[in-house]
C-alpha cells in the first residue's frame, strides 16, 4: 500500500439493536458487552497502525451498524483512542451516525466532548406503515426527543436520513415525511430512494425498486419543501444542505480524495486502488489482510469523473486535471458529447456538470463514463 499522507478516515462500527430489512451493511444485532470490548481492543490496534499514514485529519466519519449502540463508557473509550492516535484540524468535520432509540443525552455529551460536531440520525420515515414495510424498528416519536437534546447540546450540524420509494409508499406519504422532517429544522437531509440489495430481507420477499413518475414527484417535492422551509439546496443527487452544512467527508470522496477505512468491511481508496477490510467479523478479528481491487490510472480517473458528476457543482476542467492528471474530454470525449446531446450533462467554458434531468439519471451517466 502507498505510504503517502491521508487526511480522511471512515470507521465502521458494526453493532446495532435491530437490523433493518433494507440494510446490506455489515451489522450484528445485540452484541454483548464482551464482544464490544473485544471489538474496541482490535480497533485500537488498527487505528494505531493507520495513524502512521495520516496527517492532521480533515474529516472523520463513524458509521455502522449503529455507533450509538455502544454504552456510554465504550463511546468514551472510542473517543479517547481516536484523539490518542490522530491529530485533528481545528475545523475537522467529525461525524457520528446515531439511531434515535440509542442516542441518549449522555451519549451526545460524550461524543461532543470527543470532538464530534456533526451527528446524523436515521429517521427513514414518520409513517408507521412505511417503517413496517422496510423493517424499521422503534417508536418514531423518539426522533422529536432526540432533536431537542441535539439542539440543547448545541450540535453544530445535524443530518437526518429519509428513505422514499418504499414498498406501498404513496407520493402523499413521502411528501408528508419531508414536511414533518423540515419542521424539525435539520441542517442537512439525505433523502435516498430505496435500493433493494441482494441478500436482504426485502430482496428475499421479492420487493422491487420503484422507477416511475411517483419517484420523480417525491424527488422534486424534497427539493421544493426543503428549500422553502429550511433554506436548503440540493448539492448531490440525494443530499440537501443549508449553506455551509454540506457533508465535507462525502464531498471529498465524490471528488476523488483518498481516505482510509477502519473496522470490518470498511473500504478506502489510495493510489493503488480500492481496499476493503474483511467483511466478516471473525476474519477481521483474526487479522486477515484487506483485499485490493487494483485500478489502472485511466480507470480510476473515469471513476472520479463519474462520482464528481453526482454533485450539482460537477467538475471544472482545471480542477479535474489537477485531481487526476487527465483532461475529461480527452479521457471520455465521445461519452461526454453523447450525454450532452441527451441533455444529461452541460458544458459551459471549462465547467462540466449534470443538468437537473441528469441528476435523475446519475446511475446512467456513471455507467456510460465507466
| pLDDT score at 1 | 40
pLDDT band with cut points at 50, 70 and 90 for residue 295:
confident
Grid cell for residue 8? 480522511
| pLDDT score at 349 | 85
In angstroms, the Cα distances linking 203 to 198, 280, 299 are 6, 21, 31
Interatomic CA distance for residues 189 and 279, integer angstroms: 28
Chain mean pLDDT for the chain: 94
Indicate whether 2 pLDDT > 60.
Answer: no
Indicate whether 181 pLDDT > 80.
Answer: yes
**Which contiguous run of DSSP H or E holds residue 44?**
helix 33-50
Domains and their CATH numbers in the chain = 6-253 (3.80.30.20), 296-370 (1.10.10.920)
| pLDDT score at 211 | 76
| pLDDT score at 4 | 67
CB 70 within 8 A of CB 36: yes
Grid cell for residue 249? 467527508
Q: Which residue has the cell 407520493?
A: 171
94 three-class SS: strand
112 three-class SS: helix
| pLDDT score at 267 | 94
Interatomic CA distance for residues 73 and 315, integer angstroms: 44
Dump pLDDT digits (tens) for 239-290: 999 999 999 999 999 999 999 999 999 999 987 788 999 999 999 999 999 9
Grid cell for residue 326? 487527465
Q: Which residues contact 68 (CB under 8 A, 6 or more apart)?
A: 75, 96, 97, 98, 99, 102, 103, 104, 107
Q: Which residues contact 318 (CB under 8 A, 6 or more apart)?
A: 350
CA 255 to chain centre: 14
The mean pLDDT value for 78-93 works out to: 97
The mean pLDDT value for 307-312 works out to: 98
The mean pLDDT value for 333-362 works out to: 96
Grid cell for residue 370? 465507466
In the beta sheet, which residues pair with residue 287? none
In the beta sheet, which residues pair with residue 121? 98, 160
The mean pLDDT value for 136-144 works out to: 90
Nearest CA to 228 out of 274, 185, 190, 263 is that of 185
Dump pLDDT digits (tens) for 193-224: 999 999 999 999 999 888 778 889 999 999 99
Interatomic CA distance for residues 182 and 177, integer angstroms: 9
Q: Which residues contact 216 (CB under 8 A, 6 or more apart)?
A: 360
259 three-class SS: strand
Query: Within 13 Å, how many C-alpha atoms sit on residue 218's CB side?
Result: 26
In angstroms, the Cα distances linking 343 to 309, 338, 358 are 14, 9, 7
Indicate whether 227 pLDDT > 70.
Answer: yes
| pLDDT score at 170 | 93
The mean pLDDT value for 77-81 works out to: 98
Omega within 30 of 0 (cis) for the link into 65: yes
Nearest CA to 8 out of 253, 209, 192 is that of 253
Amino acid at each position: 500500500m502507498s505510504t503517502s499522507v491521508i487526511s480522511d478516515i471512515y470507521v465502521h462500527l458494526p453493532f446495532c439493536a435491530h437490523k433493518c430489512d433494507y440494510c446490506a451493511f455489515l451489522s450484528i444485532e445485540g452484541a454483548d458487552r464482551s464482544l464490544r470490548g473485544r471489538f474496541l481492543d482490535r480497533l485500537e490496534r488498527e487505528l494505531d497502525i493507520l495513524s502512521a499514514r495520516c496527517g492532521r485529519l480533515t474529516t472523520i466519519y463513524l458509521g455502522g451498524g449503529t455507533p450509538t449502540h455502544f454504552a456510554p463508557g465504550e463511546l468514551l473509550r472510542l473517543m479517547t483512542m481516536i484523539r490518542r492516535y490522530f491529530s485533528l484540524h481545528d475545523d475537522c468535520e467529525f461525524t457520528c451516525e446515531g439511531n434515535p432509540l440509542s442516542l441518549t443525552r449522555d451519549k451526545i455529551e460524550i461524543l461532543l466532548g470527543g470532538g464530534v460536531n456533526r451527528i446524523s440520525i436515521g429517521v427513514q420515515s414518520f409513517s408507521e406503515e412505511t417503517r413496517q414495510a422496510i423493517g424499521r424498528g422503534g417508536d418514531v416519536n423518539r426522533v422529536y426527543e432526540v432533536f431537542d437534546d441535539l439542539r440543547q447540546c448545541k450540535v453544530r450540524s445535524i443530518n437526518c436520513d429519509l428513505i422514499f420509494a418504499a414498498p406501498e409508499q404513496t407520493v402523499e406519504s413521502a411528501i408528508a415525511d419531508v414536511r414533518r422532517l423540515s419542521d424539525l429544522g435539520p441542517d442537512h437531509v439525505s433523502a435516498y430512494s430505496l435500493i433493494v440489495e441482494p441478500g436482504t430481507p426485502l430482496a428475499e420477499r421479492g420487493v422491487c425498486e420503484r422507477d416511475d413518475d411517483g419517484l420523480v414527484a417525491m424527488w422534486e417535492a424534497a427539493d421544493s419543501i426543503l428549500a422553502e422551509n429550511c433554506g436548503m439546496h440540493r448539492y448531490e443527487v440525494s443530499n440537501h444542505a443549508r449553506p455551509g452544512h454540506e457533508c465535507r467527508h462525502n464531498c471529498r470522496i465524490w471528488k476523488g480524495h483518498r481516505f482510509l477505512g477502519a473496522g470490518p468491511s470498511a473500504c478506502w481508496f489510495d493510489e493503488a486502488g480500492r481496499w476493503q477490510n474483511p467483511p466478516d467479523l471473525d476474519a477481521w478479528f483474526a487479522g486477515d489482510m484487506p483485499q485490493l481491487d487494483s485500478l489502472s490510472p485511466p480507470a480510476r480517473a473515469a471513476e472520479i469523473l463519474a462520482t464528481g458528476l453526482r454533485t450539482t457543482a460537477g467538475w471544472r476542467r482545471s480542477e479535474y486535471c489537477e485531481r487526476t492528471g487527465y483532461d475529461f474530454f480527452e479521457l471520455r470525449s465521445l461519452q461526454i458529447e453523447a450525454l450532452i446531446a441527451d441533455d444529461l450533462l452541460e458544458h459551459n467554458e471549462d465547467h462540466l456538470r449534470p443538468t437537473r434531468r441528469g441528476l435523475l439519471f446519475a446511475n446512467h451517466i456513471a455507467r456510460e463514463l465507466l
